[in-house]
Structure 1
């Protein structure tokens, strides 16, 4: 398999860790990660596609091996601006975009900012339809309805080693859950100091403002109709099967694949099946 390169770059003065593989002149797949993860979530996908595509996966500020600078806007707009600057710095002028977890909303804000850059979308358990939010959102809905310090403190209770474990096992049980390595929560928790915990709490609390952007994301999809592949693990307490099918309201031509025993982290549990569909899709819509 092609080698994956592990690099450090200064992006707007921020020490940024990222993973890269593939020919420099190949069409690009940009891989923004989700919570509470990092570019580590793409470590197995990247070499499987790097024969035909250039893969770029950064750690967002305050995540993984990137810096946690003072003065950075640790919100969805700040991350979207950072992702745009990262694409510019790495020479990615046009790219397919992988949308997963909170990386989906960050990526869509970038798409709204720079629509001509987007060649295609791969959506994997990234929710933008309020009426399809699963029961995992119930604690957040309680906070949104009553945003008191006491309710916010309850959200902070999930930013723990056990909370990370719960996030990474979300929707994966039995033999499927056994495919998810404990490295995911132990390594990411080891990198989560007190300041990063505070940042994570503000990002989670800020999901209410992000929810208000859902109609804007949907409008962008209706207007631009990018080629879209939807891969979904429906055993996801936050994003059940209906959250995947809802994309067809705005993207009726999207290709939808549900992995019936899959949860939130398909690249850990269903990598071979996901790679097969991604290669087929990108081979048709995003080639040099």
Structure 2
């Protein structure tokens, strides 16, 4: 698809899909589950959902979510991309071997293995939260395989893991974080409270719906091993691998764009500016006033709009 056609698609997407509340025909929980497939890799049995045709785009979610996070963006972009949303090792429906490496570097290598298994030579990458750190590692380790990066609030340079996440990491290290996840399912109103994921990470806590909680949380609690791996995913953020790749980031020539919420306690907008200055082919930063960490689920129209513009510029 050439630049003019991509721009026309971008305009159509932004006009037709004003936001989650007005969107329709995107996959619900049951449709997403029916679409789920698995691929065997050296890292484990990886779950993914694919939608659309065209050049590949890979969507990387955060902790403790899974590929369901991207259902709205995939729906909007499936007309121009083969959209692939894998579940990270230790999260969602992917099955890692007991004792598997769950670090960001290992996750990046797993994504490269998924690309091999699905015959994807190169992909546009869209990322959020810990997925943003993994995307950077993927780009510097396998630069020929990443066509562009759309990065949203997530791990950058020395802000990985962010200090605001320390209580959750400490609870994970003690094996106690699963109890907080259970409270989302057992206590009405907890998700939207200041202690719940909705209150902390969603601009509107109501957007962590009952359906989304059923998509995200039961897989994390399905067995003692799954509970352990979900918590080990967070513990594996340390040691932070991102400062060591700064020189290689500064040498990347692929197009990059930052879409960043300003209301996020974990990843301040200064880190989007850091990326903009560090990456030589950056296409700038778009700030989303007041948006919290998981706004990419709440506002898939913004993701689609920025992705289409970035991809159009990259193909010019």
Both proteins in one fold, TM over 0.5: yes
* Equivalent pair of 1:61/1:69 in contact (CA under 8 Å): no
Q: How far, CA to CA, are the matches of 2:300 and 2:267 in structure 1?
A: 19
What residue is the counterpart of 2:71 in the other structure? 43
Per the TM alignment, residue 38 of structure 1 is displaced from its structure 2 partner at its CA by 0.8
* Equivalent pair of 1:168/1:184 in contact (CA under 8 Å): no
1:55-74 matches, cutoff 5 A: 55-70=83-98, 72-74=100-102
Q: How far, CA to CA, are the matches of 1:151 and 1:125 in structure 2?
A: 22
What residue is the counterpart of 1:203 in the other structure? 233
Per the TM alignment, residue 229 of structure 1 is displaced from its structure 2 partner at its CA by 1.2
Per the TM alignment, residue 201 of structure 1 is displaced from its structure 2 partner at its CA by 2.6
Q: How far, CA to CA, are the matches of 2:264 and 2:111 in structure 1?
A: 26
1:229-240 matches, cutoff 5 A: 229-240=257-268
1:247 aligns with 2:275: yes
* Equivalent pair of 1:81/1:110 in contact (CA under 8 Å): yes
- CA distance 1:159–1:93, shift in 2 (3 Å): farther
* Equivalent pair of 1:121/1:227 in contact (CA under 8 Å): yes
1:1-288 matches, cutoff 5 A: 5-12=35-42, 14-23=44-53, 26-70=54-98, 72-130=100-158, 136-139=164-167, 152-153=173-174, 156=177, 160-162=181-183, 165=191, 166-173=196-203, 176-193=204-221, 194-209=224-239, 211=240, 213-251=241-279, 253-286=282-315
3-state DSSP class of the match of 1:100? Answer: strand
* Equivalent pair of 1:30/1:96 in contact (CA under 8 Å): yes
Deviations 1:35-68 (A, max 9, x none): 1011111111112111111111112233222224
Deviations 1:108-162 (A, max 9, x none): 2222221111111010112213269765134379x6xxxxxx9932874775334
Q: Which runs of 5+ in 1 are unaligned?
A: 144-149
**How many residue pairs are counted as aligned between the two chains?**
274
Deviations 1:198-257 (A, max 9, x none): 223322222221x2x222333222111321111111211111222222212302633211
Cα root mean square deviation, aligned: 3.0
* Equivalent pair of 1:262/1:270 in contact (CA under 8 Å): no
Give the TM-score normalised by the residue count of structure 2.
0.76
Q: How far, CA to CA, are the matches of 1:111 and 1:13 in structure 2?
A: 19
What residue is the counterpart of 1:146 in the other structure? none
- CA distance 1:180–1:113, shift in 2 (3 Å): same
Q: Which runs of 5+ in 2 are unaligned?
A: 1-24, 186-190
* Equivalent pair of 2:262/2:291 in contact (CA under 8 Å): yes
Which moved further from structure 2: 89-98 or 74-83? Answer: 74-83
Per the TM alignment, residue 71 of structure 1 is displaced from its structure 2 partner at its CA by 5.1
Give the TM-score normalised by the residue count of structure 1.
0.82
